[in-house]
Every structure is written in structure tokens, then in C-alpha cells.
Amino acid sequence: MYIQITKECKITNSKKFLNQVYKYKTDSETKDLYNNWYLSYDEELTNNNYITPKRCSEALEKYLFNKQGDILDLGCGTGLSGKEIISKGFNQVDGTDFSEKMLQEADSKKIYRNLFLHDLNSDVYNFDNKYDAIVAAGVISPNHAKPKALKNCIEFIKPNGLIIFSLNDHAYNDLDFLGKIHSIIDDYNLKIIEKKYGDHLSKISLKSWIYVVKK
């Protein structure tokens, strides 16, 4: 069942948002950015060769053998990551995001079992299930989902479940942020089973690390 999302008229917006995404510092600024970006998000990221969702889905396919496994697409946005996950044969996929308008776009793709409107930096998560895998493609960063989001995921992962997430160059080169991520991995005895560097947005020469960690 999909959550109730308010339907609104869409207004054509040709403004480019990608060059702004790393500038905002507060949660409210970031949320406003994504709520205004939803119409051009898919086109703008596709035009810049947004590869991280594909790389995350390939890692998921490599390590999660059960195609009926329950998967959460954390920070699903408009569904770009969800489409890649579905393309690998997984079909029990839920999505969550903090932007209602992004979720409207994700809902229109009809690829998710459930969608949840949720602040990823909140202490309270409202998911109904525990998951075999959580995928966070292009989500965890100093200006978006904080390390707390990774910490909160652990409660909703089944024993031996996977968390697959990316850290782009901006996030990985922030040593304080990176230290917090690795502290969570160590404190909760998560095992890094793969860590691979590759393209994120190749048109702007931005790369990312893909982590696969196991509970």
C-alpha cells in the first residue's frame, strides 16, 4: 500500500539544481531544494551520467541471492535507484524519502511496494518490515542524510542483512564525516565485505565509493 501523498499541479521548471546541491548546509534548505527539483531531477542527473544507482544495484545483485528479499531504498527520491534495483529482478522494494514531491514522482513509476514520507535524520523510523537489504545510493553525505541515518538503518536490517551505500568524493574527503561513518561500522560490528571506487556523476568528474556492509 502506498502512503497518501498530496497531489499538486506540476509547474514546468527548467532551473538547474545540481550545482546547488552541495552548497546548502541546513536540513530545511536541502528539503526545499529537492521539493523544487522534482520535475527536472531525472533528466538532469541522467544527462550528467548518474551511475551510482546502477553500481549499488549491481552490488545488491552480487550479494543478495534471494530475489524475493525485502529491500528498502533509503532516500529513494524519484525512483532512479528503485528502477535499477527492479531491473536486477528484485520486486519486494519499499522506498522512503523526506521530499513529498520526490515521492510523487516515485509513486508515478509504480515500482515500489510501499512508499514512506520520512526524515532520514529523524530518530524515529516508521517502517513496517525488517529488511534483507537497505540501499542508499547518493544519499549519505554531510548535507543530506547524516551518519545517524546509517545508524538508524541497523535496527531495520535482519540478521546477516546488507546495507549498501555510497559516499561521493565530497563526503569521503570530509574526514570528520567519514570518521563518524566508520565509527558506526565499528561500534555495531558491521563487516565491510566490499568497498569499491568508481564513477558517480561522470559528466562532472565526480566519483563515489560503494560500501557493502553486513550486519
Residues 215 and 194: their CA atoms lie apart, in Å, by 13
**Phi, psi for residue 162 in degrees, rounded to 5:** -110, 145
pLDDT at 29: 63
pTM of the predicted protein model: 0.84
Average pLDDT value for residue range 14-43: 59
**Which cell is 36 given?**
523544487
CATH superfamily for domain 18-214: Vaccinia Virus protein VP39 (3.40.50.150)
The reported pLDDT for the residue numbered 158 is 95
Residue 13, pLDDT above cutoff 50? no
The predicted-structure confidence for 66-116, as pLDDT tens digits, reads as follows 999 999 999 999 999 999 999 999 999 999 998 889 899 999 999 999 999
Which alpha helices (DSSP H) does 38-173 contain, by range? Answer: 41-47, 52-63, 80-87, 100-109, 147-153, 169-172
